[in-house]
Structure 1
Amino acid sequence: MGKRILALDDDPDILDVYAMILSAEGYEVKTILSPDSLTNAIVTFNPDLLLLDIQLGSGTNGLELCKVLKASSLTAHIPIIMVSSHESIYSAVSDYGANDIVLKPFDIATLIEKVDDFLLGKVIPIGRRSA
């Protein structure tokens, strides 16, 4: 079973793209449209990574959600990638604790590369000495 990615965005088309491309990469993807579902989704799905938009409709700010998640001992360990076209994305890492950012409209290869950086174990070759 692949690593789990939880994506929150108020655009169902973006969520469909996440599900399609990241599932094809071997990840288990759960998408949610409402920030009201976030806590329950984290508890039940136990994600290895979160993708969050900044502008989530209904007055919810993804940056503030990120800050709250990073301040909680229960969720601080989960990498968060903010994905947005909003100009405040540039402060996501320094001011809100996000682990990385991806600008919308995003390049699929860039998104996959950033997700892989957090979820795929890096193999460091160790030289063998011949006897």
Structure 2
Amino acid sequence: MGKKILAIDDDIDILSIFQLVLEEDGFEVITSQIGISPEALSLMLPDLILLDINIDGFPKSGVDICTEYKMHKAVEHVPVLLVSSEHNLEMLAASCKANGFLSKPFNITELTNKVKEFVSSEIN
């Protein structure tokens, strides 16, 4: 498998799209419908995190989760891309120190290009 991508989104269909498209490009994709603690994240050490802002049924927003990751020494270096339909996505990404953002709805080429900006497209 290639580089490891963690996708966190409450929408199972979006997670399925991430998994299908990115695995086809040779990435290993781990999906979650809830946030993952920085401690658990430090054990899986993904190369990139795709993170939704609104996670139904989870007490923290994607902005809160991103902020926690960027404040935790063991995982602060892992790039985070916020993926959301929020209208102020650029401002939200800056507020939590996300490395970038991708607006929903997105097209597949847009997704893969954005991922490859942060993760080498070379497959291990």
Same fold (TM over 0.5): yes
Q: Which has the higher helix share?
A: 1
For 2:49, give the aligned amino acid: L
Hey, what's the Cα distance between the residues in 2 that align with 1:84 and 1:41? Answer: 23
Where do residues 54-69 of structure 1 align in structure 2 (5 Å cutoff)? 54-58=53-57, 59-69=59-69
Structure 1 match to 2:113 = 113
TM-score when scaled to structure 1? Answer: 0.84
Relative contact order higher in (CA < 8 Å, ≥ 6 apart): 2
Structure 1 residues 21 and 52: CA distance shift in structure 2, 3 A: same
Name structure 2 gaps, 5 residues minimum.
none
Structure 1 match to 2:83 = 83
Shift of residue 71, structure 1, vs aligned partner: 1.1
Aligned-pair identity in percent equals 36
Structure 1 match to 2:101 = 101
Hey, what's the Cα distance between the residues in 2 that align with 1:24 and 1:41? Answer: 26
Hey, what's the Cα distance between the residues in 1 that align with 2:19 and 2:110? Answer: 16
Radius of gyration: which is bigger?
A: 1
**Structure 1 stretches of at least 4 aligned residues deviating more than 4 Å after TM superposition:** none
Hey, what's the Cα distance between the residues in 2 that align with 1:32 and 1:44? Answer: 15
TM-score when scaled to structure 2? Answer: 0.89
For 2:6, give the aligned amino acid: L
Q: Give per-residue Cα distances to partners, 1:19-46, cap 9 Å, x unaligned.
A: 00000000000000112xx126524422
SS at match of 2:81: strand
Shift of residue 112, structure 1, vs aligned partner: 0.5
Structure 1 match to 2:73 = 73
Name structure 1 gaps, 5 residues minimum.
123-131
